[in-house]
Amino acid sequence: MSEQPKFKVTIDNITIEVPAGTTILNAARMIGGDVTPPAMCYYSKLEGSGGKCRTCLVEVSKGSEKDPRPMPKLVASCRTTVMDGMEVKNITSDKVLDARKGVVEMLLINHPLDCPVCDQAGECHLQDLSYEHGASGTRYEFDRRTFEKEDIGEYIQLHMTRCILCYRCVFTADQLTNKREHGILERGDHAEISTLLGKSLDNEFIGNVIDVCPVGALTDKTFRFKNRVWFTKPVDAHRDCPTCSGKVRLWMRGDEVFRVTARKDKWGEVEEWICNDCRFHKKEVKDWVIEGPSRIDRHSVISQGHYVDTVKQPVYIDRVIGKNPKLLLDIHKVSDVNRPDVDLSKIEGPAHSDDFKKNKDN
Amino acid sequence: MEKLTNRAAPVNRDPITFGEKIYLPAIAKGLSITIGHIFKKKATVSYPEEKRPFSPVFRGLHILNRDEEGRERCTACGLCAVACPAEAITMEAAERKPGEEHLYREEKYAAKYEINMLRCIFCGYCEEACPKDAIYLSETIMPTNYTRASFIYKKEDLLIPDPKNKEAK
């Protein structure tokens, strides 16, 4: 047990040595970059996850050094462990790319195209996946499945139509909380995430299901419709929290904290779980110690408009003319958007028409 | 020295002849060109009375569209604002309440929507980005004004009138 044998595995012609028992997906993640298969249901921090969405299918062109026959079918890389001398083809195999395109089409069959309304847009894994691997049109002509709306508590909004049944939230509730209150009910096309008999999810770590959800099926109700993620600025911050690590990412606009999430690594997985108190109740800058702007991949839409390492040029016009120049237009005097007297982030749920009316009278 | 191009022509430095010295033929030649232009078709139009036709791809003032039932199409998805190279568009979204279904097409709508026309460069990217057919650039030329504040166009200024209810704003 102390001496773990090392296996040599070649993925897309890149060879790496990994400990025995590593899955192909994790070996590919050690290499990183384009050879990593996408994963919608696998989550390295959740035991037992994976094997459901089939987006991580790869071709094994050589089983191992001892048995060099290829595997007959494409295998799910998150559930297949490496063998010594195994050769795997991911993006170099047309079969894999074709199968992945089919899987994306299957995932999108019942997924509503409501990205303009969905709060996950911009950080949605299904959006990225279908952009990279999917077809631009659908061949499905029937009505998409619909569900009755279910209220699962005051903090989490469930949109069952968007769910791809990855089971991540079920594993999260199982492994983080002592009593799971939601699960998958029914079978087949009727399968849905639900709490039996309309219970609400109120465990103090249940907010993490929002972060693990790869699509917009579980979203933060306190952030609902407040802003688009790419207009808020992610900032790493921490606080002394008695229940969790307190290491979070704040999504800010100006001095307002619009949303608090856990920090995510480059695979979109949570680094450290955070508690509901940090996530839903600490929406003020003074609650947090700010560490600095988060690293965001520059290909992500979230990095738009965030100019890092820019030096503001000093303006000398006031010294030349001996006074501050007259401001010709104070935008806040004219504009109704982002008014200093309206704090959208302080409203409990999503804003409604009367929230704006009420503020106009004041 | 090596020549840069082969287009250089030598300057004619011959002394000018008697015909050139009296200048009259050159003046007559110039006048004939001037007089000839009087009878040609004019290149200009007298603008306010006479207007040129718009190009089919002309991009003017923005409008916010409604659907056939008069509901606002915009869902405040922010794609126009993210596509805008001049960062002229800002918005705030709100959730539709029960009873407001006749006003807004989708669950989420733009409670506030503003275009700063001082920033706008009329590139039309917002129209291209819109997934809901909500914003269009019309054939109206941007009107001029004396104050900067009047160039901040709000949702009420941009929305087209309700086809069912013309007097309501």
Residues B64-97: tens digit of each pLDDT:
999 988 899 999 999 999 999 999 999 999 999 9
pLDDT of residue B54: 86
pLDDT of residue A202: 83
Domain range summary for chain A, segments of one domain joined by +: 6-103, 125-220, 227-334
Question: Residue A11, SS3?
Answer: strand
Are A302 and A296 in contact by the 8 Å Cβ rule? The answer is yes
Measured in whole angstroms, the distance separating CA A324 from the mean position of its chain's CA atoms is: 46
Phi, psi (deg, nearest 5) at residue B81: -70, -35
Q: Do A351 and B93 touch (CB under 8 A)?
A: yes
CA distance A180 to A205: 11
And the tokens for B48?
């306010």
Q: What is the CA radius of gyration of chain B?
A: 29
pLDDT of residue A24: 94
And the tokens for A48?
């037992």
CA distance B135 to chain A (A): 14
Q: What is the CA radius of gyration of chain A?
A: 24
Q: Do A115 and B100 touch (CB under 8 A)?
A: no
Query: Class for domain B62-158, per CATH?
Result: alpha beta
CA distance B82 to B89: 8
CA distance A126 to A323: 54
Q: Chain B residues with CB inside 8 Å of A305's CB?
A: 87
Report in angstroms the alpha-carbon separations of A344 from A206, A255, A339, B109. Answer: 24, 12, 9, 15
Phi, psi (deg, nearest 5) at residue B120: -60, 135
CA distance A234 to chain B (A): 17
Q: Which of A223, A336, A360 is best to mutate for the B interface (most B CBs within 10 A)?
A: A336
And the tokens for B105?
């097409």
CA distance A156 to A212: 13
Size of interface A-B (CB pairs under 8 A): 82
Q: Chain B residues with CB inside 8 Å of A304's CB?
A: 82
Nearest to A352 among B97, B116, B131 (CB): B97
Domain range summary for chain B, segments of one domain joined by +: 62-158
In single-letter form, the type of residue at position A193 comes to I
CA distance B94 to chain A (A): 5
CA distance A310 to chain B (A): 18
Q: Chain B residues with CB inside 8 Å of A328's CB?
A: 148
Q: Do A226 and B93 touch (CB under 8 A)?
A: yes
Q: Which stretches of chain A score pLDDT less than 70?
A: 1-3, 358-362
Any residues with CB less than 8 A from the CB of B63 and at least 6 apart, and which? B135, B136, B137, B138, B158, B159, B160
Q: Chain A residues with CB inside 8 Å of B112's CB?
A: 336-337, 356
CA distance B114 to A43: 41
pLDDT per 10-residue tile (average), chain B, 169 residues:
85 89 93 94 89 90 92 93 93 91 91 93 94 92 91 92 66
Look at phi and psi of residue A197 and say left if phi exceeds 0, alpha if psi is from -120 to 50, else beta: left
And the tokens for A133?
């691997």
CA distance A275 to A150: 23
pLDDT of residue B166: 58
**Closest chain B CA to residue A345:** B92
In this structure, chain B runs to a length of 169
Q: Do B94 and A351 touch (CB under 8 A)?
A: yes
Indicate the pTM of the whole model. Answer: 0.83
| Chain segment A288-325, per-residue pLDDT in tens | 999 988 888 888 889 887 777 778 888 888 889 888 88
Are A28 and A59 in contact by the 8 Å Cβ rule? The answer is no
CA distance A331 to A68: 69
Nearest to A353 among B94, B149, B154 (CB): B94
CA distance A129 to B104: 31
CA distance A283 to chain B (A): 19
pLDDT of residue B169: 45
And the tokens for A253?
């606009």
Fold for the domain defined by A125-220: Alpha-Beta Plaits (3.30.70)
Q: Do B95 and A344 touch (CB under 8 A)?
A: no
CA distance A233 to B99: 34
Phi, psi (deg, nearest 5) at residue B37: -70, -25
Residue range A6-103, CATH number: 3.10.20.740
The 3 state secondary structure assigned to A311-354 is CCCCCCHHHHHCCCCCCCCCHHHHCCCCCCCCCHHHCCCCCCHH
